[in-house]
Amino acid sequence: MIEEFLRKEKSAIDLYLEDYFSNLYSEEEEILLKDFTSQLKTFILNKKTKRLHPILLIAAFIGIVNPIYLDDQIEQIRKVSLAIELLHNAHLIHDDLLDADEVRRGKPTFHVQLKNDINKIYKDSAILKHDEFINMYGRDISILGGTQGYILGLNVIKDSKFPDNLKLMAINEYTSALDYLMKGQILEEYMHYHNITMSLEQYLNIAELQRARLLEKSTKIGAILAKGNLHYQIEPLSEALLRIGQAYAIRDDILDMKEDIKGKKKKSLYILAIQNTNEEQSRLLNEIYHQDEVTSSDIKKVENVFAETNAIIIADHFSKNLIVQAKKYLRDIYPDLNKNQKVFFNEFSDYIYMRDF
């Protein structure tokens, strides 16, 4: 069931995004802002994206809303789900810029996309400090573009046809999600520039702020707009998705292990390993993570240390335990979710834990 639901809703969301950007483009009179809208559309309408955040918003809405109203409101909730996708992509734009990442979903990151575009214009021009000029353009427009993305998402909720009291509650959750994202990013940058090696507790806090909370808030917005009961439906569903989101972050670290080692990123596996290393293993990790370049041989050595210290096994067990906790919260929802969505959220829990993407 879950694969079919994810596929169906992703296809629908992609179509709504196409319409959204077409309308945004046609309503904009300034030619330069039209170009910016096209750039943003190119980045967001990537075929490899999974659209998990808006899908969770829709799933929560379908799971709680009175079924007799669903057909009349499904179009509107799909439109509202674009808000959380715009928020997510705005954060990715800023995150990629701060991390100097060049590839996202097999395509250039937003700042690289912008650099490539303007470089075509100035390719044969003898401008002073050419490379610096190109890099600054990509950086500056990405800073502004990510911020604009947050505002666009907020406007989607504001302009929706749901009752004002529900929209106000949804906007409150949207701004709360943004607050979590910003705080997580600030903490990460502070620790990086102060050369602080995170404790596992600090890392999990940042992972919650930057990844888990957005899954939780996406779901909560959908539940609010469906007029769910705050104590008996919305809160347990939110707690379940928070733990699923935490498991999602840890699974990401396991799946991205090679890339993270190559980028010398000290994520959960590194933190778990460093707590159990002997003197030789600690020396090896320290040397490799302070090199300018990390080779394939270095990656293999670090992977061996992660295995020898049981970091991968511990992370896997931790992730699995979070999924068990999530399912307990799903069982506590009353009145229960509509039948198909109850199945969906339970399958989604396993999907996150067992995924290989």
Confidence at residue 357, expressed as pLDDT on a 0 to 100 scale: 65
Burial of residue 42, with CB atoms counted within 10 A of its CB: 0-12 exposed, 13-18 middle, 19 or more buried: middle
Give the type of residue at 117.
Answer: D
CA atoms of 33 and 24, how far apart (whole Å): 10
Cis, bond preceding 163 (omega within 30 deg of 0): no
Q: What is the pLDDT of residues 300-337, one digit of tens each?
A: 999 999 999 999 999 999 999 999 999 999 999 999 99
3-class DSSP assignment, residue 84: helix
Does pLDDT of 12 surpass 90? yes
Burial of residue 84, with CB atoms counted within 10 A of its CB: 0-12 exposed, 13-18 middle, 19 or more buried: buried
Does pLDDT of 22 surpass 80? yes
Task: Return all residues near 281 (Cβ < 8 A) that are at least 6 apart.
Answer: 273, 305, 308, 309
DSSP state, residue 194: T
The string over 257-282, giving b where at least 16 C-beta atoms fall within 10 Å of a residue's C-beta and e elsewhere, is beebbbebebbbbbbbbbeebeeebe
Report how far Cα 153 is from the mean position of its chain's Cα atoms. Answer: 14
Confidence at residue 356, expressed as pLDDT on a 0 to 100 scale: 73
Give the type of residue at 44.
Answer: I
Domains of the chain: 1-228 (1.10.600.10), 229-357 (1.10.600.10)
Report how far Cα 84 is from the mean position of its chain's Cα atoms. Answer: 10
> Of 87, 88, 115, 81, nearest to 101 (Cα)?
115
Confidence at residue 135, expressed as pLDDT on a 0 to 100 scale: 95
Q: Which string of DSSP letters, residue by residue, matches 34-79?
A: HHHHHHHHHHH--TT---HHHHHHHHHHHHHS-HHHHHHHHHHHHH
Q: 278 — phi, psi (to 5°)?
A: -90, 180
Confidence at residue 130, expressed as pLDDT on a 0 to 100 scale: 85
Q: What is the mean pLDDT of the chain?
A: 95
Question: Which region, left, alpha or beta, applies to residue 51 given φ > 0 means left and ψ of -120 to 50 means alpha?
Answer: left
